[in-house]
């Protein structure tokens, strides 16, 4: 595909473009290892050095004249946009299509006679679908998936190999559950008694709204009562724990190893970076951001950016972090000042003045 044709498919037609010799593009690649006839991208001047070295034939650039001039001098074809990563994602979708299994039900799949399957459904080898389950149209159930009784799965949803969907789970349309994830497992509910721990049965529900994606090895627990809900178009990375009774809004991002304790409320458009931990029943406002490894024990206001453990304002955390690495130096300075003060207090001239 010629570069100009590709740009027409991935952009709105209003982006600045430098065609050069309008090269043939046969694929996409990272900027630092891109072979000829491929398209790559850079997001800012921090990656400018790669434009000097890359052997890609074309690049997607930010709206930055310095980068555009460098690309032109290298003889690269380029298109400039305020969202280079988005255009690159669209280009990937042109050159790569995920594996699509053939429709049908594998001979080794076990499907209850009381389960209802929609049209154009694929069920892979050794999958198990138990009674009172409702599967929508165009659903893909990969091998070894287990779907417990009473589950509802919406149209176009994909369940990857080895994931487990427990009872009292409702999954919306066009969701994706990746391998080894467990949706609707029992929340961690126990009551202390004189003789030990009494198990509190988890009779609630898990609801994933339309467009939710859950990464590999993640878990979303159902509560004792009520529901755990994940809002529309929220994306959950690998190895994330969503505790019982949590309420997540729409368009959130939870990056790998995030852990939410029970009853956490997360607003819309919230970003929780890797290994963020959130304590029981904390509320996080719309548009808030927590940087990696933040420990959140108190409510976070809408659009607040927090970092550190325990969480504080990001700008304050940056200042504190800069000071932290100087603590040995500051400690030695403090000891020196202390010795000087002690010498002044104990000197004879000081005693005479007293």
β-partners of residue 170 are 152, 207
Q: Which of 184, 198, 283 is nearest to 229 (CA)?
A: 184
Continuous segment of H or E residues that includes residue 110:
strand 110-111
Q: State the distance between the two ends of the chain, measured CA to CA, in whole angstroms.
A: 92
Summarize the chain as % helix, strand, coil (round to 5): 20, 30, 50
The residues carrying an active-site annotation are 244
Which residues 6+ apart lie within 8 Å of 353 measured at CB? none
Please spell the DSSP secondary structure of 136-177, one letter per residue.
Answer: -TT-EE-TT-EE-TT-EE-TT-EE-TT-EE-SSEEE-TT-EE
C-alpha 214/C-alpha 236 separation (Å) is 5
């Amino acid at each position: 595909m010629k570069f100009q044709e590709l740009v027409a498919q991935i952009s709105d037609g209003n982006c600045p473009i430098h065609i050069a010799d309008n090269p043939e593009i046969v694929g996409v690649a990272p900027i630092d290892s891109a072979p000829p006839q491929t398209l790559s991208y850079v997001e800012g001047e921090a990656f400018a050095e790669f434009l000097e070295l890359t052997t890609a034939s074309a690049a997607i650039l930010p709206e930055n004249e310095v980068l555009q001039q460098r690309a032109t001098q290298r003889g690269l074809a380029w298109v400039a946009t305020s969202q280079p990563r988005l255009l690159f994602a669209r280009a990937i979708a042109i050159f790569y299509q995920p594996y699509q299994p053939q429709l049908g039900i594998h001979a080794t799949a076990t499907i209850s006679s009381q389960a209802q399957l929609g049209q154009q459904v694929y069920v892979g080898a050794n999958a198990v679908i138990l009674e009172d389950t409702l599967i929508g149209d165009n659903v893909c159930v990969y091998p070894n998936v287990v779907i417990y009784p009473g589950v509802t799965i919406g149209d176009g949803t994909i369940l990857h190999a080895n994931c487990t969907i427990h009872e009292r789970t409702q999954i919306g349309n066009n969701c994706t559950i990746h391998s080894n994830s467990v949706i609707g497992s029992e929340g961690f509910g126990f009551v202390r008694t004189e003789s030990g721990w009494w198990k509190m049965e988890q009779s609630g529900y898990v609801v994933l709204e339309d467009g939710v994606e859950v990464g590999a090895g993640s878990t979303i627990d159902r509560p004792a009562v009520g529901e755990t809900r994940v809002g529309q178009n929220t994306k959950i990375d690998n190895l994330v724990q969503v505790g019982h009774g949590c309420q997540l809004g729409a368009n959130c991002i939870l990056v790998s190893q995030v852990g939410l304790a029970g009853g956490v409320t997360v607003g819309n458009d919230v970003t929780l970076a890797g290994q963020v931990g959130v304590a029981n029943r904390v509320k996080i406002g719309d548009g808030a951001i927590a940087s990696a490894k933040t420990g959140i024990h108190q409510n976070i206001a809408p659009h607040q950016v927090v970092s550190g453990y325990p969480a504080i304002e990001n700008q304050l955390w940056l200042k504190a972090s800069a000071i932290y690495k100087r603590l040995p130096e500051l400690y030695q300075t403090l000891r020196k000042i202390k010795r000087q003060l002690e010498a002044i207090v104990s000197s004879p001239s000081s005693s005479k003045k007293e």
